[in-house]
Chain A
Amino acid sequence: MKTVIFGAGRIGCGLAGQLLRDSGHEVVFVARSPALRDHLNRVGGYVVRLVGRGETRDIRVDGVRAVAAGDIERVAWEISDAGLVITSVGCANLESISRFLAAGIRRRAEPVNILAFENSVNAGSLLREYAGEHLPQDFPLDRYGFAGSLISRAVTQRIGDPASGGPLVFVGDAYSRVIVDGAGLRVPLPQISGIMVTDRYEAWVHKKLSMFSAAHAAAAYLGHMKGYRYIHTAVRDPQIRAVVAEVLKEGQQGLAARYGGEIAGDESDRQEVLERISNPQLCDLISRVGREPGRKLKADDRLVGTARLALEAGTEPRNLGLAVAAALFFNEQKDPSAVELQHHVFTQGGEETIRKFCGVDSGSLFGRITTDAWYRLSDGWRQGRVLIDLERMTWN
């Protein structure tokens, strides 16, 4: 069976491609970068390096090929006889690929499932809506599956140069589970290792956002303030570790109230997240984990969304509030979202920025928590300084 994967990046190659090849499927990537497309066609594969608990395992993924993202005829032709389509392009890019997807769907004789490996509650429905805009009104799109999918693996690096002859190496942790929204499927899903279909997809997405993603982001934003480069270093800072541990508790309390104990998990789940983000073999840069702070600060995303769940549970999300305040200091110059956020903080102040980016009113409980944290942090902040004491909020 052939699978077409939109996106030859970290998740496309580092997880989707590997799972499909492991399960014996033919894999065709739709690659935006000509250099990457040519490389995959020339080398025919790549390496997935799984790291964890001091062990490293290289998995050679062979027999893949790639087509150009801009070649609509070729992409449509590949989709026309595929048994599965996967996207791993980032939610913000779903609209731009929908024209190509629709062109392929029109050529098909039979319906197919499209799995959006985008870690989002509504990626499936969003993609269906976007594809529908490029199809006739009477097209039977309901017969096609559009399902959101939740990725457990963190793929942190791509090592190597596409211009070289050697295979690229995608570095990630050894988690392979992909949770697929069963409600979005329309035809039977082929057997693929690691894939689990659920009817509680939204709950699982919120679990990932409220546990792993929230802790990861908190470590990144606090670590950035303290001047560290890597997540594994930030989490070894006792003050940051203590906050991240509390972020996990706040998230878990919200999950338990909304979805019950089975989804929320227990202390072992919190420990597992801490262990994962402490893994130095991932070489996970704070600049990568913290990037696009504008998106990560949205009302339904990892920090504010988790805080809202916690508030529903009667928990005061003080540590999530601190992480939100810290995000307002994320001033990575190469990150357009961070630059925009910084501009807003500089011109409008923290309170207004929290209102605009997070949808949180400063009069609400969470608004008061975050703005208070922001004012305390900003008191001693100057360009070029790093935080040396999180408890006393003192800068160097």
Chain B
Amino acid sequence: MRIGMIMPRSGGGRKSLVMPEVVRLLTEFGVEVEVICPEDRLNHLCQLRPVHDLYVLKDTSDMGLGLAGILHAAGAVIINPYPASVILRDKIASTGILKAAQLPVPETYVTADLRKLAPLLKDGPLVVKPYRGRDGEGVRVAHDESELIDPLSRRAPFFAQRYRKPDGMDHKLYVIDGQVFGVLRKWPAKTYEEKLGSPLTVTPSLRDYAVRCGAAFGVKILGLDIVMSDGEPYIVDVQSFPGFKGVPDAALRLADYIYHKGLQLLNKKI
């Protein structure tokens, strides 16, 4: 079995122990694993074609998605699928899909001009986010007009959601093929230890939201950020193939799932 792991550039301030362990385990399982870091190499697009039985798309940077798009067009099987991964990078489209699936999201606004958000502040603060942001980058709570600035100096569109005062720590849910794992995490989590959080027993309703969310996007591996406010859940972010920090035996669980998918594909070919 040959698996191509499309991974983000190593370093860059990220500390992930999970994915290197997934690679090690898959190799131990007898899988021929090639780690592909699109940002670390010269990619010859005309020569790019699927040469692995399965691809794992962990790198959802523009480079990673671009390469995955070419592989997808050429018929590669990818976890998570390229179209869903692209949508999940786009908070505007993602929120629309969540809403269509009748999942709880805060009131959400999109504008090309941040000043247009100002009148909304009279009803309370807004959370302004880059619409293609990751890892909490550039997220800020705007209480008044002076805070309606784009911290990353990016161009429109600007994405804003009604701020819901959390009852406590954020609920982070991780899904691997229907299995839902919960972590309680402070926001914003800055250190690695803060990101590990503490275990959260997932309630049946949160489990239902997580599973329905995966089904809405057509992905098996995802993460959800949920804010509980006045006892009500609000899904404030969804990620394709998150880092699974704080999930016990995450690498083993991911390797088990990826191996199973690969084997299913191989057995179909025979």
Chain A interface residues toward B at CB < 8 A: 54, 159-160, 166, 169, 226-230, 232-233, 236-237, 280-281, 283, 380, 382, 384-386, 388-389, 394-396
Contact = CB atoms under 8 A, between A and B. Distances in A.
A159 B257 CA distance: 20
B26 to A, nearest CB: 9
A384 B181 CA distance: 11
Contact of B179 (A236, A237, A280, A396): A396
B199 A229 contact: no
Contact of A380 (B178, B201, B207, B255): B201
B97 to A, nearest CB: 23
Given A169-B270, A232-B29, A280-B259, 5 more contacts: A230-B259, A233-B259, A384-B207, A388-B181, A388-B248
B267 A159 contact: yes
A396 B178 CA distance: 12
Given A237-B249, A396-B179, A396-B180, A280 B199 contact: no
B116 interface: no
B204 interface: yes
B202 interface: yes
A236 B260 contact: no
B179 A227 contact: yes
Interface of B: 25, 28-30, 178-182, 199, 201-202, 204, 207, 248-249, 252-253, 255-257, 259-260, 263, 267, 270
Given A54-B30, A236-B25, A229 B179 contact: no
A58 to B, nearest CB: 13
B202 A396 contact: yes
Contacts of B182: 396
Contact of B249 (A159, A226, A232, A384): A226
A229 B179 CA distance: 12
A169 B181 CA distance: 38
In the A-B complex, the 3 residue pairs with the smallest Cβ-Cβ separation, listed nearest first, are: A280-B29, A233-B256, A388-B248
A396 B201 contact: yes
Contacts of A385: 202
B195 to A, nearest CB: 18
A388 B253 CA distance: 11
A236 B253 contact: no
A20 B61 CA distance: 58
Contact of A228 (B201, B253, B263, B267): B253
Contact of B260 (A226, A230, A384, A388): A230
Contacts of B204: 382
A280 B202 CA distance: 31
Contacts of B178: 384
Contacts of B256: 228-230, 233
A396 B252 contact: no
Nearest to A51: B30
A278 to B, nearest CB: 9
A211 B25 CA distance: 26
Nearest to A54: B30
Nearest to B28: A280
Contacts of A232: 29
Nearest to B263: A283
Contacts of B207: 384
Nearest to A278: B28
Contact of B252 (A237, A280, A382, A395): A237
Contacts of A396: 179-182, 201-202
Q: Interface centre among B182, B253, B256, B263, by most A CB within 10 Å?
A: B256
Nearest to A230: B256
Contacts of A230: 256, 259-260
Nearest to A227: B179
Contacts of A226: 249
B249 A388 contact: yes
A275 to B, nearest CB: 13
A227 B255 CA distance: 12
Contacts of A380: 201
Contacts of A233: 252, 255-256, 259
B190 to A, nearest CB: 25
Nearest to A228: B256
A87 B21 CA distance: 44
A287 to B, nearest CB: 11
Contacts of B201: 380, 394-396
